[in-house]
Structure 1
């Protein structure tokens, strides 16, 4: 079932509204996405390009001869992926204002999956609030830490 959701980049210059199916998100593990994001994978949700309304047009990076990627040139936030000849676009789950409803339905490009990073539940964890150095820096800047 589709749902209207909003999102944008970290600095707020690029904003969008999209009709997406949160239960059909997926993780891409391909080397192109790893390099484009600096992460071990990227969470995407696919939508028709006609279901996405950009309030401010993003910048586009021609990441290969067959695809390009929307991003914000001001803050660097990666916003998605689209084939040049395609009707759909993948939007980054992390760029949505509320990514909590998204659920992964599959892995893609598993040949590049870094399996050591697929299940990290056994590792010790820490909340941002428990990191005194980070909290002190936000307070010194006269700000509250972001959520």
Structure 2
């Protein structure tokens, strides 16, 4: 069983089974809703996920709903019966052990800022150091 939740703990979830797909997404909507250049998602059948607490749902477009914790603001889920009927996307970073689900693809690169294509060129540091 995989577990996760928001930063403050008001919304928790458990998952039974394996992810159907997982990816890092660079689409405009994911970037705007998260404030990050990429969002790691894992897709599960809706019935495989049990949610406790009351996430706030936001209708971001059409039948797309994004859920987040109304207390701490952590983005949690993406659902759309048109795009992914019967499925739920969970943000991998909200898992208690995000290392359990590795991304299997990098998607929506057509929407990505140009600099995202050059991440391998950046210096690598184990910890951020000011200065």
TM-score, normalised to structure 2, is 0.85
SS of residue paired to 1:80: strand
Greater RCO (Cα-Cα under 8 Å, separation 6 or more): 2
* Residue ranges of structure 1 left out of the alignment (5+ in a row): 132-147
For this pair of structures, how many residues does the alignment match?
A: 127
Describe the shift of the 1:108–1:125 C-alpha distance in structure 2 as closer, same or farther (beyond 3 A).
same
Which runs of 4 or more aligned residues in structure 1 lie more than 3 Å from their structure 2 counterparts after TM superposition?
none
CA distance in structure 2 between the aligned counterparts of 1:121 and 1:91, rounded to whole angstroms: 29
Contact 1:29 1:42 in 2 (8 A): yes
C-alpha root-mean-square deviation of aligned residues, in Å?
2.1
1:125 aligned partner = 125
Query: How far apart are residue 20 of structure 1 and its match?
Result: 4.7
**Is 1:59 the counterpart of 2:59 in the alignment?**
no
**Is 1:79 the counterpart of 2:97 in the alignment?**
no
Greater CA radius of gyration, 1 or 2?
Answer: 1
**Is 1:68 the counterpart of 2:65 in the alignment?**
yes
Contact 2:67 2:76 in 1 (8 A): yes
Query: How far apart are residue 5 of structure 1 and its match?
Result: 0.3
Aligned with residue 45 of structure 2, among 37, 43, 48: 48
CA distance in structure 2 between the aligned counterparts of 1:22 and 1:77, rounded to whole angstroms: 21
1:36 aligned partner = 33
TM-score, normalised to structure 1, is 0.76
2:104 aligned partner = 105
Query: How far apart are residue 80 of structure 1 and its match?
Result: 1.8
Contact 1:23 1:103 in 2 (8 A): no
Contact 1:67 1:81 in 2 (8 A): yes
